[in-house]
Amino acid sequence: LDPDVLVKESRAVVDFIANYYRDIERYPVRSQVEPEYLSKRLPDQAPIFPQPIQTILDDIHDDIFPGLTHWQSPNFYAYFQANASTAGFLGEMLCSGLNVVGFNWIASPAATELESIVMDWMGKMLKLPSSFLFSGGQGGGGVLHGSTCEAVVCTLAAARDSALTKMGGDGITKLVVYASDQTHSTVQKASKLIGIPPSNFRAIPTSAASDYALTPDSVRSSMEADIAKGLVPLYLCATIGTTAVGAVDPLLELGKVANEYGVWYHIDAAYAGSSGICPEFRHYLDGVELADSFSLNPHKWFLTNMDCCCLWVKSPSSLVDALCSNPEYLKNKASDAKTVVDYKDWQIALSRRFRAMKLWVVIRRYGMANLMEHIRSDVAMAEHFERLVAMDRRFEVVVPRKFALVCFRLKPRFQGDDPSELNRRLLEAVNSSGQAFMTHAVVARMFVVRFAIGATLTEMRHVEATWKLIQAKADGLLLNGSC
């Protein structure tokens, strides 16, 4: 690693990335390639001799770009965004550049201590109860994972081991996990991964009547029915901002049920949790004080480049009990004295990236003021888009919008009409145009188009132009039967 080469070549890479952002609107948002396109373009053997960085960058431009779906395009409205930013990029550069591996405190004290500090900063910005903070003095604290999936696996493992210790013996086949039919599939996957029988996962139905939120009564009756069968409720996951339609579960009421039945209560706020730093959205987090754990992804809506998931737990010791390993070669005075946090015991892997550096740079470079502005401007654009949809009588907004996700569809044209196929064709027409990319959800057997605003470069003019594109494609479909 030659610092002079690093300077020269990293400049070339930064210039390349900057040009990518300058030109990003020129590329089709959703990649238009066919499967296996790349093997037709790249050699099937690794090179024996080194190649110049410029040749590699040229190949990225010519061969890789066509196969990219441009998540940072201002016309990317699919899934939930992965919002990049200059500070997020610089933070990621520092994380990669320093490349330390802070699995325990001694392996890089600053990495561990910065993570604990940043997790408390985040917790305070979100006005989390002090029981989730290191500085709260009640044993709680936070950790950075790469994804919500990992956070959920770890909390489920902690819940499982605490329950099995209490129950004595081998009771895993009795443990039951509760979520809603709108909960992200990651919870079901995590439940399977930690050994809960698939038949003990409850995806409790929701409906339009509750705006697709989980109702406390349905959870209670599901738990009662399981207890009557000799099963043991283990874990309840509530969501702030579900993936399909952005629904918010009633945290406080669900928390009361969870606490009454003694189950681990997790709140997944992967997408919408970041909005809690704005006073006008903080109420969505009310009830978080009843949770055992709470997670959100700054890589979705907090200007932090991939990957970054914040997980707070009230009782880290239960995480550590489930995930701790203590091989001889990692033993050291600080860990033995139990005076430090060893984050390897709060996660699945041993090695870990210095993600706290990235989040710290983001928070410091933008400050709370700009982070709040980022969220507010996305919500304002979504409100505007929602109004545009409502003004066109052929369309309807399907679920009341809470954040920056608008779910809409072309309405049924006559009684008994199922507009699913029509909306599917509309979506494909927009996506194959390359001018915008949206995805869909199916709720209550309704095919809905999701318009998720959150790419960092999106401005009102992009939203308006995309709405015109959607209308034009709808005109083609409704008038001529084709786009």
Pairing of strands 264-268, 232-239: parallel
- Compute the least distance from the CB of residue 185 to ligand PLP, in Å: 8
Letters for 353-392 (x = contact with ligand PLP by CB under 6 A, - = none) are ----------------------------------------
Please report whether residue 304 would count as binding ligand PLP according to CB under 6 A: no
Pairing of strands 201-204, 175-180: parallel
Q: What are the respective helix, strand and coil percentages of the chain, to the nearest 5?
A: 50, 15, 35
Residue type, 361: V
Q: Please, which residue, 268 or 292, has the CB nearer to ligand PLP?
A: 268
Annotate 319-339 with DSSP letters as a single string.
HHHHH----GGG--HHHHTT-
Q: Please, which residue, 200 or 243, has the CB nearer to ligand PLP?
A: 243
- Compute the least distance from the CB of residue 71 to ligand PLP, in Å: 12
Figure out which of the listed residues 226, 253, 268, 386 binds ligand PLP, where binding follows CB under 6 A: 268
Please, are residues 264 and 159 in contact by the beta-carbon 8 Å criterion?
A: yes
Residue 42 is encoded by which pair of tokens?
């790249």
To which H or E segment does residue 445 belong?
Answer: none
Residue 245 is encoded by which pair of tokens?
């339609």
Give CA–CA dist 373/305, Å, rounded. Answer: 18
Letters for 395-424 (x = contact with ligand PLP by CB under 6 A, - = none) are ------------------------------
> Peptide bond before 336: cis, by omega within 30 degrees of 0?
no
Binding part of the chain for ligand PLP, among 57-65, 235-243, 311-319, 390-398 by CB under 6 A, reads 235-243
Give CA–CA dist 160/284, Å, rounded. Answer: 28
- Compute the least distance from the CB of residue 398 to ligand PLP, in Å: 18
Please report whether residue 147 would count as binding ligand PLP according to CB under 6 A: yes
Give CA–CA dist 294/233, Å, rounded. Answer: 19
Give CA–CA dist 342/444, Å, rounded. Answer: 45
Binding part of the chain for ligand PLP, among 250-258, 268-276, 367-375, 442-450 by CB under 6 A, reads 268-276
Q: Please, which residue, 155 or 162, has the CB nearer to ligand PLP?
A: 155
To which H or E segment does residue 155 belong?
Answer: helix 148-167
**Beta strands of 214-315 (E only): which ranges?**
232-239, 264-268, 293-296, 309-313
Give CA–CA dist 203/225, Å, rounded. Answer: 14
Q: Please, which residue, 453 or 474, has the CB nearer to ligand PLP?
A: 453
Figure out which of the listed residues 188, 191, 297, 335 binds ligand PLP, where binding follows CB under 6 A: 297
Figure out which of the listed residues 104, 112, 148, 335 binds ligand PLP, where binding follows CB under 6 A: 148
DSSP label at residue 240: B
Binding part of the chain for ligand PLP, among 2-10, 108-116, 263-271, 282-290 by CB under 6 A, reads 263-271
- Compute the least distance from the CB of residue 228 to ligand PLP, in Å: 31
Give CA–CA dist 228/225, Å, rounded. Answer: 5
- Compute the least distance from the CB of residue 289 to ligand PLP, in Å: 21
Q: Please, which residue, 57 or 313, has the CB nearer to ligand PLP?
A: 313
Please, are residues 316 and 289 in contact by the beta-carbon 8 Å criterion?
A: no
Binding part of the chain for ligand PLP, among 264-272, 373-381, 443-451, 470-478 by CB under 6 A, reads 264-272
Applying CB under 6 A, the site for ligand PLP has a residue count of 14
Please report whether residue 76 would count as binding ligand PLP according to CB under 6 A: no
Residue 38 is encoded by which pair of tokens?
């790349």
Please report whether residue 309 would count as binding ligand PLP according to CB under 6 A: yes
Figure out which of the listed residues 70, 160, 174, 184 binds ligand PLP, where binding follows CB under 6 A: 184
> Peptide bond before 23: cis, by omega within 30 degrees of 0?
no
Figure out which of the listed residues 80, 105, 264, 408 binds ligand PLP, where binding follows CB under 6 A: 80
Q: Which residues bind ligand PLP (CB under 6 A)?
A: 80, 147-149, 184, 186, 239, 242-243, 268, 270-271, 297, 309
